[in-house]
Amino acid sequence: MSIEKTDVLIVGSGFGGSITAYHLAAGGAEVVLLERGPWLQTNDFEHDFLLGSSYTRAFDFVVGDGMSVLGGNCVGGGSVVYFAAMPRAPKFVFDRHGSIGRRMWPSAISRDSLDPWYDRVAESLPVSQQDWRDVSYSGGLWAAACHHSGRTANPAPVAIDNDRCTNCNWMMGGCRFDAKRSLLTNYLPAALAHGAQIRPLHEVQRLSRTDDGGYRVEFNVIDDEDYRIHTGSGAIEAKIVVLAAGAGATPVILQRSESTLGTMPYAVGRYFSGNGERLNTAVINEDRVRDVLGLSREDGVPYEANQIGKGPTVANWDRLDGSLPEYSRYSLEQLYFPPGLGTILAQVPNGSEPAWFGAEKKEMLKRWRSWLTIFLMTEDDNEGVFGPPPPTGNAHRISQQMLGRGPLAYDPTENTRHGWALADADVKEILERDGIATVAPWTNDVVGAYTVHPLASCRIGDDPRTSALSADHELRGHPGIFVTDGSAVPGALTVNPAMTIAALAERAVPGIVQAARARGVDVTYGAPAPDGATSARRGTLRLVPSRTGESR
């Protein structure tokens, strides 16, 4: 069997994969990117939840033991299904100790040192700061409730073209109006323009070493309709491998590769973080919205606008205060979570007992237009651990699309539960003041805790005992393998992590270029933003190693 060869093989097309693919291809390297999911175009994004629609094709929902992970499964990865909120992590995050009792992040990385790389991402997508004219009505309601309770509220920075946005609130199933600036609109087309090859429905299984010091990457080809079916297999050899399959899949690939690569760092598949996430649903009292907050829509309805607008537009950041003790800092963000899990896991406020079905839940569902969902991002203890990998893929596939059973185990510590309790109480105090709403957290009884922002399962750090990667994202003991997805982030960020994952990927590229050049790849570093902008690039030149052949 003939084995295909390339300079760089990238696994996954989310932020970590797309950003590295663009820069390496623009620098002259031969790049092949393998993506597990399908390649959906703008017109493929459908406004329904039927099996086989873009909604089920583009997601990967893996149920573990105590934790379930919802992520992207398509070309563009999580950027296709995210809500495009792009805040930068607070300064205190980089000094967190977490469960190890000392600073988790590498000494080389702080908020100040990462800011130039944040700037590059902001220019490339681009990211803009919304004002109050841009927020959704549900965001405005959340802001009014925060103000009424003596709190502040902030329009969130987003990667959204508000001139294109129709406020359809189907962002989680992909944007058919190209208003959401997913990677399909910037880094990926730019990578293609520079010769990168993107191959959808290719699920990487394991890595092994080649005689010349490179790596062989084995994959299965996945059926376009039933992801349980493999229609073929193959292998590609590369001098550099970049793993960016997501925090729920990258460690599984490495664990499965241990028999062929050799011993993995201890932290591979450990220290998983769900970004401390939790959801609360409030059932709004329409009369109190009018009488207490003085709000109404043009048609005279006080609220009933849960489904109108777009994802997070307003956040409360009062508790993002570095002077507060660890595990007591969090953000509270208005969020539209569409039907499906949002209706199953949402709880009846003041119900007789926690339940995900029953008469009380049925009555609550009748008022779904009056719901307001609040997304809590707290500080957890990195409790997640991945067990033995399944035979193929990152999970045992249960349904033909979307649903699987994975090897992740998660038992929240008292620290994590303390953060959840504080944030739950804060939401309740804000929204139940003067009878505006009744509030209850989602249940953990059905699928355990849950996250849409998995992190830290192969994290960077200075200490080999507690980090899988060095500060430049190279896998310890395995030169030439880099990890640039959310699994590299050391711990919970207390805000949406996409901006930080992307900034870290931008920061990692010069080191990957340097490693590729050392392995004989003729590649340089210094490409502008995907649209040709260069102002943010100039801000990072002093941070780039001098041996990357950068073009200035």
Helix or strand or coil: residue 250? helix
Q: How many residues does this entry show for the chain? A: 552
CA dihedral (264, 469, 59, 162) in degrees, to 10, reads 180
As a whole number of angstroms, the distance between CA 28 and CA 521 comes to 9
Q: What is the mean pLDDT of residues 432-451?
A: 94
List, for residues 213-235, the tens digit of each pLDDT value.
999 999 999 999 999 999 999 99
Q: Apex CA 190: angle with CA 77 and CA 218, to 5°?
A: 50
* 433, amino acid identity: R
Q: What is the mean pLDDT of residues 314-323?
A: 98
> What is the pLDDT at residue 47?
87
As a whole number of angstroms, the distance between CA 422 and CA 142 comes to 18
> What is the pLDDT at residue 536?
83
Q: What is the mean pLDDT of residues 84-96?
A: 98
List, for residues 463-480, the tens digit of each pLDDT value.
999 999 999 999 999 999
> What is the pLDDT at residue 1?
55
> What is the pLDDT at residue 385?
98
Q: Where are the domains of the chain?
A: 4-519
Whether the pLDDT of residue 144 is over 70: the answer is: yes
Q: What is the mean pLDDT of residues 312-340?
A: 94
> What is the pLDDT at residue 551?
57
Q: What is the mean pLDDT of residues 507-533?
A: 96
Residue written as token pair 């977490």: 98
Q: What is the mean pLDDT of residues 23-33?
A: 98
As a whole number of angstroms, the distance between CA 240 and CA 161 comes to 35
Q: If pLDDT is split at 50, 70 and 90, which confidence band does 540 have?
A: confident
CB atoms within 10 A of CB 4: 12
Whether residue 410 contacts residue 381, with contact meaning beta carbons closer than 8 Å, is answered with no
Q: What is the mean pLDDT of residues 406-425?
A: 98
Q: What is the mean pLDDT of residues 480-501?
A: 98
Whether residue 269 contacts residue 251, with contact meaning beta carbons closer than 8 Å, is answered with yes
> What is the pLDDT at residue 352?
77
Whether residue 456 contacts residue 382, with contact meaning beta carbons closer than 8 Å, is answered with yes
The helix (run of H) or strand (run of E) holding residue 15 is: helix 15-26
The helix (run of H) or strand (run of E) holding residue 230 is: strand 230-243
**What tokens were used for 277?**
């996430």
| pLDDT > 70 in the chain, percent | 99
**What tokens were used for 294?**
């003085």
Q: If pLDDT is split at 50, 70 and 90, which confidence band does 129 have?
A: very high
| Cα radius of gyration (the chain) | 22
Helix or strand or coil: residue 28? coil
Exposure b/e, 144-177, CB count within 10 A at least 16 = b:
bbbebbebebbbbbbbbbeeebeebbbbbbbbbe
**Cα within 13 Å of Cα(177), Cβ side:** 17
- Give the closest residue to 390 by CA, choosing from 262, 228, 209: 228
Q: If pLDDT is split at 50, 70 and 90, which confidence band does 499 have?
A: very high
| pLDDT > 90 in the chain, percent | 86
As a whole number of angstroms, the distance between CA 541 and CA 410 comes to 41
Whether the pLDDT of residue 342 is over 90: the answer is: no
Instruction: Quickly name the fold that domain 4-519 has.
Output: FAD/NAD(P)-binding domain (3.50.50)
Whether the pLDDT of residue 549 is over 70: the answer is: yes
As a whole number of angstroms, the distance between CA 488 and CA 506 comes to 13
As a whole number of angstroms, the distance between CA 72 and CA 86 comes to 17
Whether the pLDDT of residue 147 is over 90: the answer is: yes
